[in-house]
Structure 1
């Protein structure tokens, strides 16, 4: 069992072994709070760029749906007449200077998520360890009139106008503790300071019948300070996450999700922060029980040996970006693009906020 799995079982499950780190929590809390206070005290923090900056991030470790949310925002903003660009860190990539990511870029050079976003969004995208430098490089494209930061909630050197915090619909805040005892990068109270808290949910029927109060209670389940967040329901947005079909890794062929029902045996492959959500989506789509799950660490660097050669394989779109560069013999390898359908109320609210920042007519 990997160290990542051990931590996740403690943060989001019943294991309590990370409580051995409790003595250092006061120091962690002090350092996290100091970083936030320094940002708020900086009177020049809103003067870095002259276009709106939207941060899509989280306060918890693990997959929360940032990438599909970024793609959904790109579509909404383009429809509203904006020309958005994206900045990202480029996880696992040495990018001390800005790098422009294109549809032909390699995941090994630019990171899996940036390449996926560049290909799906058809928008300019720049990666850099310094997101401020990334934004300035992005704005050399004079068409860009709005910036979306993929992650970067805690990158306080970067100014921002709108913050969208992603929270996993099933795992919520975990045990509600700061790292390393829990999965939180910042205290749960940080949710009260962002513009929106977005939770992606795959069950449309549940979304239709669930009130914001019920959704909030589920997301904060297990967090002892739940009474402190009574005003959070005004920020909460629940949106359905859906899969439209499968795409063949080698040929680009599109297939209905019904193809899953024909897989009497198959291998599921994922190197993401929350593979259980990927599995849940496939099971909802009709995947039979004869599957094996092969989970790797987030941003895993795949090799040919990681992919089965004699059975159908289904993977995430992010992993497909890396595996497409491998010389796979198996031609029965498919990946699952997912989409977010944003509520009309949220879209209207967001566009109003963007308009107030940009002054766009």
Structure 2
């Protein structure tokens, strides 16, 4: 059975009966979702196009599947290929969500959202947060970007897109196959077949004890690699292997914290796990564990702990790896769009 996050309903991914209230609400959620999708498909609600290619990295389930590591790697690949990418995001969980912002690496995650700040810090490309993704795309175009990458937003149909990439967690897949709140689906599974690419997040080799993970036909495998740890208060990165045989506090405020913990364990690190809710707003007391052990955390968590970090705190960079053929196929599709 796939591991659960701290606030993931047990019945989404486990052998637990779905509560009656959730079963009753799910058809209504599905009907409203389908109605909205149908209105855009029939042209009764208008999609807005921008004069540059738009790539959406998203999923049809609630919660994280590995979209942000893929978005970061996608931005780097586009830049290497000569494109000038910019990233549009809603900035989920940020303060003042109605205010559009340019995201800089040093902006507080509370203002920009943890994923947008992380993307800006890792890539240095223009990142714009706006609940109106059309306006965000237009701002990126005005800033000189020639391709827009949307971190999440598969269901934001108002912005016309040229390429859709669905990201799936290999262990969880679509859970019990039900619509929210009875299950994790934001849209029916059939919607995923409309996407141009399906990327399956396999995590790290053997990172899901007891689970068999695989890729099917037409799916692209994504592995997540961790090799080093970066001190939050400055200094050189150190090999992750230097923590092997030691006990550490491991911190993860992501949708599936157990994946991060297990990735560290496969490196021979003794993990004392501390799982927080996705998008948790960290305070210094959250990391006061009462022992002077190293504290290893995801980079998504680190951008929210930078201001009060000490010498024990480390961020563990995560890199998405996909087959070379995936990048060839995607860049070829993008090139045809530009030529067309």
TM-score, normalising length from structure 1? 0.86
Are 1:14 and 2:15 matched, yes or no? Answer: yes
Within the candidate set 316, 320, 326, 1:336 is matched to: 316
Counterpart contact for 2:56–2:153, Cα < 8 Å = yes
Partner of 2:278: 298
Are 1:315 and 2:297 matched, yes or no? Answer: yes
Partner of 1:138: 140
Q: 1:4 to 1:260 in 2, by over 3 A?
A: closer
SS of match in other structure, 1:277: helix
Q: Deviations over 1:306-326 (max 9, x none)?
A: 003522111110000000022
1:44, distance to aligned residue in structure 2 (A): 8.6
For the aligned residue pairs, the C-alpha RMSD in angstroms reads 2.2
Counterpart contact for 1:18–1:180, Cα < 8 Å = no
Partner of 2:76: 75
Partner of 1:241: 224
**1:238 & 1:104 partners in 2: Cα distance?**
33
Partner of 2:330: 350
Q: 1:331 to 1:122 in 2, by over 3 A?
A: same
Are 1:116 and 2:118 matched, yes or no? Answer: yes
1:17, distance to aligned residue in structure 2 (A): 3.7
SS of match in other structure, 2:82: coil
Alignment of 1:116-265 (within 5 A): 116-142=118-144, 144-203=145-204, 215-216=215-216, 233-234=217-218, 236-263=219-246, 265=247
Aligned residue pairs total 329
Within the candidate set 104, 107, 110, 2:109 is matched to: 107
Q: 1:26 to 1:163 in 2, by over 3 A?
A: same
Q: Which runs of 5+ in 2 are unaligned?
A: 208-212
Are 1:55 and 2:53 matched, yes or no? Answer: no
Counterpart contact for 2:13–2:175, Cα < 8 Å = yes
SS of match in other structure, 1:325: helix
**1:269 & 1:204 partners in 2: Cα distance?**
21
SS of match in other structure, 1:166: strand
